[in-house]
Amino acid sequence: MRRVPLVALLLISGAFGAQAAAQERRPAAAQEQTSNPRPVQSTTPAGSFLGGVPTGPLTDEVETITIVQAMRRALEHNLGVLTAEQGLGRAAGARKRALSELLPDVRGRISETRQKINLQAFGFGSSSASPFGDIPPIVGPFNVFDARIFVSQAILDFGAIHDARSEEHNLEAARHLFRGARDFVLYVAGSIYVQTLAMSARADAARAQQQTAAALYDQAVDLKKSGVIAGIDVLRSEVQLNTQMQRSTIAANEYEKTKLQLARVIGLPLGQKFALDPDVPKLPDVDISLDAAVARAYAGRADYLAALERIRAAEAARQAVVGDALPSVRVNADYGDIGLTPVDARSTFSVSGAVTVPIFQGGRIRGRLLEADANLASRRSEAEDLKASIYYEVRGAFLDLAATSQQLTVAEKARDLAALQLTQSRDRFAAGVGSNIEVVQAQDAVAVATEQFIDAQYGHALARGALSRGIGSTDDLLRQLVGGSR
């Protein structure tokens, strides 16, 4: 039976998400959209980390994939990482849009107009009451050519300033979430890789037990022919053989299904045949106290850092609402040539400054402020909950690591004892001292002990990985893993 390597690799940070735009602002019509601000974050579904984008050419050869190669492919092709990367792009776009409200808005326009005007409609005419004398009521048709550049600049706009700060924090949160997504997919890919190795070990163990059952059946048939045992012993051996065949079939099927799941996570081409490398580099045990591990997690976990940035973004968004209730200063200017034709056009310009003072908006600012307060309280609650979750996750990982370490020691000893028991019972049966009831019981004991040993090994590997994930030490662990790989 192949032994499943103990993996202390990976991992990571826990909740991941993609940032969405916070608010659209200014000028004029755009200001109306700020009365219903959009959420600052939408989380990436955890299930997306179990998907991937199949990439690469399909070959007929069986490709051997190491755990390092699997993790690298997952970083490039896993759906969760790609989704987080797209969320980072959306957050960057929202920040640029918010920042544009503080930068000059420069536009150019060239127009050619042919028109005919009724001056009487504007108070001009040939009546004696007109101070302009005998002017014909209809003028034209004539052409107007105008080539002009328009510039608009916010000089002081507290709402736009805080909006830009809010989007800057949202962008930083998206960066943390993207890093956390990359860390988490390493945990997912590494865990499924080890799980596949465990399934392979179960399939090998079931196949070995089937071969043992077949040998015992043949032995029982020979002993029956020699008149040493009764027919019921042969029947019992045949039943045991059929049972082991079923177990072997189920174990092999589960192994193949787990391989398919790994192929999907790392984005292998559809139908690509591959094998796993059982020689997984071992990493040193995590030598750290509980308090130090929790402190390290608070300082390095990407999901927690993202939660803190979302609090800062919500605080800035609230200040933006307050800023919209304050006066704002804007300068508008234009410069260009205007005339009947481009040849006789003359240069003109205009410069205007305006101070806008909100006086009454029907409670719109108050409503937005209530929404911002609720959003800020929600972000703070989420961060506190995540902080507590990290503590319990790290503490639980310490407990699991200690328990699974003891279980592994006991399970290894139990496996060896069960194998010895089977050997002795087979010898007694061959000598005609005992019945094959003892052999069947010993076979079942070996199957149970082997399964418990594999579970203990895999559980110990998961506990070590969960602790590494809990404290957010993925970068160091991955560096050690790559350094230890062939």
Alpha-carbon span 112 to 462, nearest angstrom: 73
Q: What is the CATH number of the domain that holds 169?
A: 1.20.1600.10
**Domain limits at 79?**
17-108+158-333+365-484
Q: How many helices (H) and strands (E) does the chain have?
A: 10, 8
Cβ 189 vs Cβ 12: under 8 Å: no
Q: Which amino acid is at 427?
A: D
What residues form DSSP beta bridges with 276?
65
* 248 domain residue, yes or no: yes
Alpha-carbon span 476 to 465, nearest angstrom: 13
* 339 domain residue, yes or no: no
* 205 domain residue, yes or no: yes
Alpha-carbon span 219 to 384, nearest angstrom: 66
* 191 domain residue, yes or no: yes
Nearest to 13 by CA among 299, 320, 330, 234: 299
* 116 domain residue, yes or no: no
Alpha-carbon span 327 to 320, nearest angstrom: 13
**What stretches of 360-411 adopt beta strand conformation (E)?**
none
Number of domains within the chain: 1
Q: Sign of the CA dihedral 379, 384, 390, 393? A: negative
Alpha-carbon span 182 to 462, nearest angstrom: 19
∠ CA 231-233-239, rounded to 5°: 105
Return per-residue pLDDT of the chain as tens, 486 residues. 333 333 333 332 333 333 333 333 333 333 333 333 333 343 455 678 889 999 989 999 999 998 888 988 998 999 999 999 999 999 999 999 999 999 999 999 999 999 988 887 877 765 555 555 667 778 888 899 999 999 999 999 999 999 999 999 999 999 999 988 888 888 888 888 888 988 888 888 888 888 888 888 888 888 888 777 778 888 888 898 899 899 899 999 999 999 999 999 999 999 999 999 887 766 656 678 889 889 989 998 899 999 999 999 999 999 999 999 999 999 999 999 999 888 889 999 999 999 999 988 888 899 999 999 999 999 999 999 999 999 998 999 888 888 888 888 888 888 888 888 888 887 777 776 666 677 777 777 887 887 788 778 777 777 777 787 788 766 556 556 555 444
* 50 domain residue, yes or no: yes
Q: Which amino acid is at 174?
A: A
What residues form DSSP beta bridges with 245?
none
Cβ 179 vs Cβ 85: under 8 Å: no
* 258 domain residue, yes or no: yes
* 147 domain residue, yes or no: no
Alpha-carbon span 401 to 299, nearest angstrom: 22
